[in-house]
Amino acid sequence: MANKHYQKWLLQMPCGFILSTTGIMVIMYAANKRSPDEWLMWGIAASVILTASLLILGNAYVHKVKSDLIKKQRARATQSDEDEF
């Protein structure tokens, strides 16, 4: 049986890192932007991107913990089955 939590972690972790990097790049772009009228729009976009990246990274962390717990549980089950024989 495939561990779906591991698959979700493997997909969400890189997405979270890419989004957080994008948010930082947007902040840098907004800070270096010459027009004072546009920095607010870029700042709002950066905050939305960074918030989304934190949510995705947090969710990925939860899936990683669940995946590790499932692996430990399976290891204990197979070890206890081997000890019975």
Residue 3 contacts residue 70 (beta carbons within 8 Å): yes
Maximal CA-CA distance, the chain: 75
Average pLDDT rounded to a whole number, residues 8-30: 93
Counted residue by residue, the chain has a size of 85
pTM: 0.80
Q: Quick one: pLDDT band at residue 3, thresholds 50, 70, 90?
A: confident
Average pLDDT score over the chain: 88
Which tens digit of pLDDT belongs to each residue from 33-71? 767 778 888 889 999 999 999 999 999 999 999 999 999
